[in-house]
Amino acid sequence: MYLIVVKFRTRPEWTERWLDLVADFTSATRAEPGNLWFEWSRSVDDPAEFVLVEAFTDEGAEEHVGSAHFTRATAQMGKALVATPKIVSRQVDGNGWDEMGEVLVEGAHDGR
């Protein structure tokens, strides 16, 4: 699978509207057959920084980057950002989340 983490730093006037700007992109990407997850978070240290953690099947990553919604979204994002996004993109073994061996919670059944 491809595991991708991207950091986006928003302009002040776009920070509170960032998730609205990327809402259609998020929905369309989550509906792609090769998408495993597509999750936004916000930095606790910098409220203007959003972090996207996404994963695709080996075949799904290329289809995602070639999609119309990807092209539309990336064309719109620039107006809301103060810098070029930073990315880590790697092909890794596996096909989903594993439990963390160092922290085992007895009786917990959190499916996320």
Per-residue pLDDT of the chain (112 residues; tens, 9 = 90+): 999 999 999 999 999 999 999 999 999 999 999 999 999 999 999 999 999 999 999 887 778 888 899 899 999 999 999 999 999 999 999 989 998 889 989 887 665 5
pLDDT of 111? 59
- Name residues whose C-beta falls within 8 Å of residue 87's C-beta, 6 or more positions apart in sequence: 4, 5, 6, 7
The 10 Å CB-count burial string (b at 16+, else e) for 62-74 is eebeeeebbeebe
Alpha carbon distance 36, 61 (integer Å): 10
80 DSSP assignment: G
Where are the chain's structural domains?
2-49+58-91
What architecture is the 2-49+58-91 domain classified under in CATH?
2-Layer Sandwich (3.30)
Which amino acid does the sequence have at 23? A
